[in-house]
Structure 1
Amino acid sequence: MAPPPTPRSRPLEGMRIVELSSYVASPLGGMTLAQLGADVIRVEPLNGAPDRTRQPLADSGTSLYWSGLNKGKRALEIDLRSPEGRELVARLAAGGGAGGGIVLANSERHQELSYETLAARRPDLIHVLLTGRRDGSAAVDYTVQAATGFPQLTGPEDAAGPVNHLMPAWDVAAGLYLAVGLLAAERHRLRTGEGQQVRVALEDVALATAGNLGYLAEAQLSPTPRTRAGNHVHGTFGRDFATADGSRLMLVALTDRHWRGLLDVTGLTDAVDALGRALGADFADEAERYAHRKVLGELLAEWFAARSLAEARAALGRTRVLWSTYRSFADLAADDARLLREHPLMARVAQDGVPAHWAPGSPVVLDGIQSSPEPSPSVGAHTGDVLRSELGLSEDELDTLRAAGVIRPHRPAAHHVTTTAGG
């Protein structure tokens, strides 16, 4: 069993965040903070946010996507179309004592919930906003992908058109930037007493990453545009190989030590040295290995094709070469796969609408403590609790709101968690 949480392993205990968000980036930012101990209150319209039904779905119709991105939050369901509903959320956002007054949002739809309006109620308010573009206009991960060049370099070398990536990388990176920006603003408030607005644009995250990785500088300074390289790793020796029994693995030799170890274990040292002399190439140089990646790859491909995965695994295990077999999500989730069952990150979770399954806690390990995943809330599961405990509303006041349709009648908080820690 995992050791119990300690105050040092939940450093954000006492921080309260009101989250007005949907889809990937901002919910991920909120969940990242919740997993570190923050009380994150996810505000949704009546009947839940539109991403509540996004695929993939459990047999019950509950979104596995939504459930994965909103673990450990409290859910407030309220009519945001009504002035009464927006006023309640504004009070919630501006309250919360010293640890409150923090908003995480991905929309500026409601003026009453904007930074300017909320800061007038609470001057030390921290308001963290995700936008599509710097000017506030809309964009999503896949349109940002299209606008920043990555699909032109993704996919097979002979692909005729753009290839989008399955992974919404900019959403994920933006979610983590939102969390970092929020923590930076909160530290500033602790030091100075001042609140501030934090804005992160999805397109800026992609542009910054393209610049930080040298892609934009290369496009400006190199006379030869970069082209697709398929499964080759740009700038070094790395590619996939098939074994005799139909398995496939990915291999990367970043350093000369990796490269020499790979040649030694495959018995190709003399052949590759002779090839280098014939080509006038020094394969101790990473750039030379990349320039001649195809011919080098074919030599190694013959070696792998003559051996089973078990034989290749045993040989590579004697080296420092970086490699892994390819596995599908189905392979990872198979009953006989030990990774999910034994990995300390994972624990067995069951909740309303979703059968028991292995789910991750936070990848951040503090004080040697691996946080266990908590369930995501059902729609409106904490509405009454939040309005009572955070705004001091009485049962009569709650009944009045229910009668007016501002909140729904009682919803049982039926979700639960069963934890069997890995490791």
Structure 2
Amino acid sequence: MTLPLQGLRIVEISSYVATPLGGMTLAQLGADVIRVEPIGGAADRTRWPLAGSGTSLYWSGLNKGKRAIEVDLSSGEGCRLVAGLIAGGGGIVITNADRYPELTFEALRERRPDVIHVLLTGRRDGGAAVDYTVQAATGFPLLTGPENVAGPVNTVVPAWDVAAGLYLAAGLLAAERHRLLTGEGQRVRLALEDVALATAGNLGYLAEAQLGASSGTPRERDGNHVYGTFGRDFATADGERLMIVALTARHWRDLLAATGLTDVVSALAAALGADFAEESERYRHRKVLAALLAGWFESHTRAEAETALRATRVLWSAYRSFTDLAAGLPGNPLMAEIDQPGVGRHWAPGSPLVVDGEQPPPAAAPQVGRHTDDVLRTELGLSEEDLATLRKNGVIHGPTSSPPEGT
């Protein structure tokens, strides 16, 4: 398939989640993303989870479809080599490393005035931060978890890293469009902490804290209840659990009809003077309503509950483990089987974006330095003698032959 970003070349100098995800998002849409790593590979090359061989499944998952070169960035010669690759190629770099003077926006702009430099920092002032410290700094762990837990509960999903990676991709494409229209390069900066702070503001959490909650008290953790509407998990008779969400009056009517509680809940509404057609009323009385529904689910198996719910517009899902998900991957249009070096054949996701009805497929992540000679030969025009000298001086590393297709 013809992908929308074919012809766009990006140099990526990164590690861990956000910046690699930004680069992979663009690579899966057709961009040629060249990841630059230090000799021996970046620090995140060995991050868990690992395959039996010791290959990082985490790294492989976040770097699919890129090319990888191995350069000693601690040397001036190595940095100048990468600067030439940026300036002489697409003129675009995405990075979370600002410690190399030769690779700053100002230095690169002297070599190429229309350079696009996209940089992720931890904090706006340039200070260090990671997803888990950003979680702690922005309030969310104090609202997560069961209501009877006193301490903070972090989420296992690095949500701010993921959001930051997508912001980086959007910022890079915005700058590239600006360059197409004006011929001007741009410096784009993004702070991980700002991503979380902006999200807290965009979702109303910060305004609520400033103006006072609608109930007159600060928001508190509430287990698996969905804030402001009716939603909660319920256990079935066979020990399974389902997540149920009724956002609209239609959802609510369907849920009551499916569980046979329409008349009971109508009587409850009359006794309480409540109108459960209103979302806020369903949330206000969520505990008594959930208790009624819990009784129904506890007397039905998961299969019986699912059969009843399928006939409705109610939003629901059974809880599934990663093992459950993995068993169902073959045949999923998002997934394709790849042969990842060090891992073997397994099902991996392509881009979740569907372009003209087609799903961009995944490609294997590169081994350390897999494309070093190939990239420097074709993109910088270096000779075999030049490459041999660089390798002898310890400036580059990696295989000396072109990699097979797809690796």
Report matched runs for 1:217-256 at 5 Å: 217-222=207-212, 223-256=216-249
Partner SS for 1:259: helix
Q: C-alpha separation between the residues in 2 aligned to 1:344 and 1:286? A: 36
Q: Which residue, out of 146, 151, 155, partners 1:161? A: 151
Match of residue 324 from structure 2: 331
- The Cα of 1:124 is off from its aligned counterpart by 0.2
Match of residue 375 from structure 2: 386
Report matched runs for 1:98-137 at 5 Å: 100-137=90-127
Ranges in structure 1 where 5+ consecutive residues have no aligned partner: 419-423
Match of residue 27 from structure 2: 34
Q: C-alpha separation between the residues in 1 aligned to 2:308 and 2:239? A: 17
Match of residue 196 from structure 1: 186
**Amino acid paired to 1:304:** F
Match of residue 128 from structure 2: 138
Q: C-alpha separation between the residues in 2 aligned to 1:350 and 1:413? A: 18
Question: What is the root-mean-square deviation in Å for CA atoms of aligned residues?
Answer: 1.2
- The Cα of 1:21 is off from its aligned counterpart by 0.4
Q: C-alpha separation between the residues in 2 aligned to 1:416 and 1:149? A: 47
Q: Deviations over 1:271-328 (max 9, x none)?
A: 0011111111111110110111111001001101111111111100110000000001
Q: 1:409 to 1:417 in 2, by over 3 A?
A: closer
Q: Deviations over 1:386-407 (max 9, x none)?
A: 0000000000010111111111
**Amino acid paired to 1:79:** D
Q: C-alpha separation between the residues in 1 aligned to 2:14 and 2:397? A: 20
Partner SS for 1:284: coil
Match of residue 262 from structure 1: 255
Match of residue 365 from structure 2: 376
**Amino acid paired to 2:19:** S
Partner SS for 1:42: strand
**Amino acid paired to 1:93:** I
Q: Which residue, out of 300, 309, 312, partners 2:302? A: 309
Q: C-alpha separation between the residues in 2 aligned to 1:387 and 1:69? A: 23
Partner SS for 1:176: helix
Q: C-alpha separation between the residues in 2 aligned to 1:415 and 1:302? A: 60
Question: Is the 8 Å Cα contact of residues 244 and 314 (structure 2) preserved in structure 1?
Answer: yes
Are residues 1:352 and 2:316 paired? no
**Amino acid paired to 1:127:** H
Match of residue 391 from structure 2: 402
Question: Is the 8 Å Cα contact of residues 371 and 399 (structure 2) preserved in structure 1?
Answer: no
Q: C-alpha separation between the residues in 1 aligned to 2:129 and 2:233? A: 34
User: Percent identity among equivalent residues?
Assistant: 73
Question: Is the 8 Å Cα contact of residues 11 and 93 (structure 2) preserved in structure 1?
Answer: yes
Are residues 1:290 and 2:289 paired? no
Ranges in structure 2 where 5+ consecutive residues have no aligned partner: none
Match of residue 350 from structure 2: 361
Question: Is the 8 Å Cα contact of residues 22 and 50 (structure 1) preserved in structure 2?
Answer: yes
- The Cα of 1:107 is off from its aligned counterpart by 1.2
Q: 1:411 to 1:235 in 2, by over 3 A?
A: farther
- The Cα of 1:83 is off from its aligned counterpart by 1.1
Q: Deviations over 1:333-354 (max 9, x none)?
A: 13xxx3x111100001112101
Q: Deviations over 1:72-106 (max 9, x none)?
A: 0000101111111111001001111xxx0000010
Q: C-alpha separation between the residues in 2 aligned to 1:409 and 1:332? A: 36
Question: Is the 8 Å Cα contact of residues 148 and 207 (structure 1) preserved in structure 2?
Answer: yes
- The Cα of 1:182 is off from its aligned counterpart by 0.3
TM-score normalised by length of structure 1: 0.94
Q: C-alpha separation between the residues in 2 aligned to 1:15 and 1:382? A: 18
Q: C-alpha separation between the residues in 2 aligned to 1:410 and 1:219? A: 56
Report matched runs for 1:1-150 at 5 Å: 5-6=1-2, 10-96=3-89, 100-150=90-140
**Amino acid paired to 1:294:** K
Q: How many residues align?
A: 404
Q: Deviations over 1:216-255 (max 9, x none)?
A: 0000111410000100000000000111111111000000
- The Cα of 1:417 is off from its aligned counterpart by 5.4
Partner SS for 1:123: coil
Partner SS for 1:342: coil
Question: Is the 8 Å Cα contact of residues 352 and 415 (structure 1) preserved in structure 2?
Answer: no
Q: Which moved more, 1:403-412 or 1:271-280?
A: 403-412
TM-score normalised by length of structure 2: 0.98
**Amino acid paired to 1:106:** N
- The Cα of 1:416 is off from its aligned counterpart by 6.8
- The Cα of 1:413 is off from its aligned counterpart by 6.4
